[in-house]
Amino acid sequence: MTSSHLLAGLGLKPAHYDAAVDCRREGLWFEVHPENYMVEGGPRLHWLRAVRAQHPVSLHGVSLSLAGQAPLDAAHLARLAALARQIEPALVSEHLAWSAWDSQYFPDLLPFPRTGAALGHIAARIAHTQDVLGRRIAIENPSHYLRIDGHEWDEIDFLGELARRTGCGLLLDVNNVHVSANNLDFDAGAYLDRFPADAILEIHLAGHGRDPLLGDALLIDSHDAPVAPPVWALYQRLIARTGPRPTLIERDGNVPAFSALLDEHRQAADMLMAARETEPVLP
């Protein structure tokens, strides 16, 4: 199954299972964290199958720890492969981050110095993951909060090289670019303009918050609010260049009624349609 027919999608929340199954909006698709469905049976898988029977589904992992030094969790990867066989997802994605160390799981997407050694290490893990899954995956740019010493590669070149070496695609999270650009003081628009368009399999949009102590100086990728106007503007700038790409609206906290998410979905879908009508300028 290809993802080219996907328009705008929504993160699937348990409170919206019924509404998601019933919704017939054109091009709508749903994304889930596979970790929430790595169970032996029961209602969660039942509902995911029911949604999948009506809509394309994307599996967006948060815990594979591709940038981790600890060995890849073979059992986790096997569970991911089993879920993918069952759900037949349109897309599978993970993050350029790590989350495991010394048998402990850190529920976050942690940073690391982008060195040449890290590049080889992560490329090998992506290649192994793609071998086990028997498919291409997309790698997402995470949000950044810290200045880290020792980077030998800038993030775009690093992601582009991973794509070149492994054939993986990229998931460009526009909100993460906005948050990171604010926190690390770079130009978000210039970042988007440089991002390798031909590798983008999916785009993420989400809301963010402000640090309670530092305010606007430190934005947090909180996924608990509607997509902010500057992020919409960046998104339009991006797809004017790349043309339409499957676009997901993420919402994990303060989850509103399904109808409110559909309003944001409409906004993204309209922008995608507008981008479809203009001839994209590549790359």
Q: Are 28 and 265 in contact (CB under 8 A)?
A: yes
Q: How far is the CB of 157 from other proteins (least distance, A)?
A: 18
In angstroms, rounded to a whole number, what is the distance separating the alpha carbons of residues 118 and 67? 7
Q: How far is the CB of 262 from other proteins (least distance, A)?
A: 25
CB nearer to other proteins: give 6 or 179: 179
CB nearer to other proteins: give 107 or 229: 107
CB nearer to other proteins: give 62 or 271: 62
Q: Which residues would be at the binding site for other proteins (CB under 8 A)? A: 35-36, 38-44, 46-47, 62-63, 67-70, 76, 98-108, 110, 112-113, 115, 117-118, 120-121, 124, 145-148, 150, 183, 211, 213-214, 218, 220
Handedness of CA 35, 38, 44, 50 (dihedral sign): positive
In angstroms, rounded to a whole number, what is the distance separating the alpha carbons of residues 59 and 72? 18
SS (H, E, C) 225-256: CCCCHHHHHHHHHHHHHHCCCCEEEECCCCCC
CB nearer to other proteins: give 223 or 265: 223
CB nearer to other proteins: give 183 or 242: 183
In angstroms, rounded to a whole number, what is the distance separating the alpha carbons of residues 195 and 155? 10
Q: Where are the alpha helices (DSSP H) in 55-173?
A: 74-87, 116-133, 155-166
Q: How far is the CB of 82 from other proteins (least distance, A)?
A: 10
DSSP 54: H
